[in-house]
Structure 1
Amino acid sequence: MAQDLRSIVVGYDGSDEAAAAVRWAARHARATACPLLVVHCSLWPLLTRHLGPVPGVSGSGLEQSAQSILDEGVAHAAAEVQGLEVGSTLLHGLPAQHLAGISAGEKMLVVGSRGLGGFLGLLVGSVSLELAATASCPVAVIRHNLHPDGPIVAAVDASGSPSALGDACVLATASNARLTVVHVRHQPPGYRQPAGQDAAAGAQKVLTEAVRRAGALAPALSVDGRLLTDSSIPHAILQAAENARIVVMGSQGRGILRETIGSTAHAVLHHAHGPVLISRHGR
């Protein structure tokens, strides 16, 4: 496999969730022949100027503590994948802003499902959610309960979600996994199809084309498609991804804000039991 010079960037703050993200990122970096960059963002400079060591106490001080956390993240990666090229960067300030900036143009940004806010983590999942809405590269949000032998699930909307489908093909190829493409036909409660219209045919056409395109992108993959009907699109995706090793979906929002995430992706991020990849690419 030709080496991709772009890096997999992973945020680490010392939490269990972040450790799981580092381990996942290390495995994906090995599978895609990419270097790994572990990043820790220290919040202490926002709160105090006294970062240096305590006089007479070796290895003390807030700056040294931040460096120790970063070193721990690198150690997690090295222990997970021996011989992996691992770099590290210590930044100071708000994690979402720095991680979005340092990952711009890189292969992927990987974060834990919570914890990146450090002791400000009362805003549970806020950093991961913000990055899923603002980063300019794909964002993988990692949770513990993985299904290592499950399929990659790619959720496509009426547009066919080409970027999400492409990212799913890359993931499935790298991990030698099956790819399941799902498309949900939304049917509100109590809805009755008007006579002479066949919405299912249109939805099936979207799915068939997405499966065909996945086969063209990655001919060696085992690809299947599932057409789902549900009154809730996120609910259908979550059920389809119940045993997936990761679910991949686009980030297209319908709101007036440029930096936003669609309601479906938002709901899946909050409720998925396994990892989620939000397919974001530079504008």
Structure 2
Amino acid sequence: MTADHRPVIVGVDGSPASLGAVRWAADEAIRHGQPLQITHALGVADPFEQAADEHELALQAAAEARNWQPCLRNVTTSTWHGSPARMLVEQSRHASLVVVGSRGTGGFQSLLLGSVGLQLAAHAHCPVLVVHHAERWAEPGGPLPQHGPIVVGADGSAPSELAVELAFAEAASRGVALTAVRAWQEPPHRWGRSVDPARLASAAQHVLVAQVEPWRAKYPTVEVQLRAVQGTAAPVVVSEAIDALMVVLGPRGQGGFEGLRLGSVTQQVLEHASVPVLVARHR
């Protein structure tokens, strides 16, 4: 995320999770020198019309953001009628990043990922940060994580190239290490022929090196670890990210249909990861 005047936008709904998401958004805005915009959608008729008479929730969230980050000067708020997902997707056209908690006030609490986060990950016009269990950071007593690597899924595809670039920028801004992960599997055996697993692992490692090296040169201070792991992509990434600060993915990887906005691997990681997930989308 380059330092410009496009805001970091965060969606709030009054839930502790959305307040925790505000803390993450304020932190991103400070580190990247960008404004913070706090947005509340009422989810009622008359989409995209402002609702000045029901604006208190957004104003309270802004006050909390300033308490957490006293250096945060440029904070704006807005309250709208209409669907939260549709409204945030529309506002993402002019944003550097959109941040949401994985679960808000609606839906089943047993589900890890809400529909707003899923729709944003699929349709936003900028990167999207979905903060899992964001209620952990709703109170000032719980500091945001400062340690642990940034884990990025790298499969050599164009969308994952965008994810690698974004992951390096995040790691550099936070002063943490980066772990690039590529999953590999043995193909089905045909006519009794098998493939040497060592050769498959070496090929996966080669893809990682080729994809990471240009960014390692651009961000020489970032410590990098390359992990070529046998297994299915989504479970491998979720497992590698257990102790991570966040995981970064492209909207889809190799093998996906070009018309799909969100690949199955990214969706599964969004649904099962225990740490924040940053989905790298083109601005």
Structure 1 length normalisation: TM-score?
A: 0.84
Q: Distance in 2 between matches of 1:255 and 1:180?
A: 23
* Range moving further from structure 2, 144-153 or 103-112: 144-153
Shift of 1:175: 1.1
Amino acid at match of 2:164: L
* Alignment match, 2:17: 17
Q: Distance in 2 between matches of 1:188 and 1:72?
A: 55
Secondary structure of 2:24's aligned partner: helix
* Alignment match, 2:226: 225
Q: Distance in 2 between matches of 1:195 and 1:155?
A: 24
1:126 equivalent in alignment to 2:115: yes
1:67 equivalent in alignment to 2:55: yes
Shift of 1:259: 5.2
Q: Distance in 2 between matches of 1:92 and 1:188?
A: 51
Q: Deviations over 1:47-103 (max 9, x none)?
A: 9xxxxxxxxxxxxxx964x31111122122112111312111212100111101111
Shift of 1:18: 0.7
% same residue = 35
Q: Distance in 2 between matches of 1:276 and 1:152?
A: 10
* Range moving further from structure 2, 155-164 or 255-264: 255-264
Secondary structure of 2:247's aligned partner: strand
Contact 2:156 2:211 in 1 (8 A): no
Amino acid at match of 1:142: V
Shift of 1:44: 3.6
Q: Distance in 2 between matches of 1:38 and 1:268?
A: 26
Structure 2 stretches lacking a partner, 5+ long: 137-143
Q: Distance in 2 between matches of 1:92 and 1:259?
A: 29
Q: Distance in 2 between matches of 1:236 and 1:86?
A: 38
Shift of 1:174: 1.4
Shift of 1:147: 4.3
CA RMSD of aligned residues (A): 2.8
Amino acid at match of 2:177: R
* Alignment match, 2:139: none
Structure 1 stretches lacking a partner, 5+ long: 48-61
Q: Distance in 1 between matches of 2:102 and 2:194?
A: 39
Contact 1:153 1:180 in 2 (8 A): yes
Shift of 1:219: 1.8
Q: Distance in 2 between matches of 1:202 and 1:165?
A: 19
* Range moving further from structure 2, 2-11 or 30-39: 2-11
Q: Deviations over 1:232-282 (max 9, x none)?
A: 211110111001010000102666583521100000000011100011114
**Aligned with residue 153 of structure 2, among 152, 155, 173:** 155
Contact 1:166 1:217 in 2 (8 A): no
* Alignment match, 1:50: none
Shift of 1:226: 1.1
* Range moving further from structure 2, 106-115 or 75-84: 75-84
Amino acid at match of 2:99: V
How has the CA–CA distance of structure 1 residues 29 and 195 changed in structure 2, closer, same or farther, with 3 Å as cutoff?
closer
1:101 equivalent in alignment to 2:99: no
1:270 equivalent in alignment to 2:271: yes
* Alignment match, 2:202: 201
1:82 equivalent in alignment to 2:81: no
Q: How does 1:110-259 map to 2 (within 5 A)?
A: 110-115=99-104, 118-119=105-106, 121-122=107-108, 125-143=114-132, 144=134, 147-159=145-157, 161-187=160-186, 193-194=194-195, 198-230=199-231, 232-252=232-252, 258=259
Secondary structure of 1:198's aligned partner: helix
Amino acid at match of 2:174: S
Amino acid at match of 2:89: A
Q: Deviations over 1:113-150 (max 9, x none)?
A: 011xx44x358601110110000100000123664311
Amino acid at match of 1:27: D
Q: Which has the larger radius of gyration?
A: 1
Contact 2:55 2:78 in 1 (8 A): no
Q: Deviations over 1:207-246 (max 9, x none)?
A: 111231221231221112111111x211110111001010
Contact 1:214 1:223 in 2 (8 A): no
Structure 2 length normalisation: TM-score?
A: 0.84
Q: Distance in 2 between matches of 1:257 and 1:207?
A: 23
How many aligned residue pairs are there?
263
